[in-house]
Amino acid sequence: MESDQERQAASFAVGLILGAVIGAGVTLLTAPTSGTRVRKRIRKSAKKLTRSTTRAHSEAMSSLDALASDLKSRIDDAVDAARG
């Protein structure tokens, strides 16, 4: 028959081994990729961001140009109406 101390030692050993196995698995799953791969991902993301920013800037400028043109037309119409 096992004593309390032996059961605790066995439980500790099982827990230690189980923890090591789980820790190793988590480490493998979450290990960072190689520096080359990370730089490639960063480069790709930067290019996508640049394209989307450029597109958004172009769309914003087009919208602002249209708004400015519309506003100028309305102001001109209001000035003409005020003059009589």
| Whether 48 and 12 share a structural domain | no
List the domain range (segments joined by +) for residue 62.
43-84
pLDDT the model gives residue 2: 59
Residue range 8-53, pLDDT digits in tens: 888 888 888 888 888 877 776 777 777 787 788 888 888 988 888 8
Residue range 50-79, pLDDT digits in tens: 888 888 888 889 888 998 999 999 999 999
| Whether 8 and 30 share a structural domain | yes
Task: Give me the torsion for CA of 47, 50, 55, 60, rounded to 10°.
Answer: 170
- Look up residue 12 and give its amino acid: F
| Whether 2 and 24 share a structural domain | yes
Q: Which residues, 6+ apart, have CB-to-CB distance to 2 below 8 Å?
A: 10
| Whether 20 and 2 share a structural domain | yes
pLDDT the model gives residue 4: 77
Sort 33 into a burial class: Cβ within 10 Å, 0-12 / 13-18 / 19+.
exposed
- More reliable by pLDDT, 12 or 6: 12
Count: domains in the chain: 2
Q: Residues 18, 20, 25, CA angle at the centre, nearest 5°? A: 95
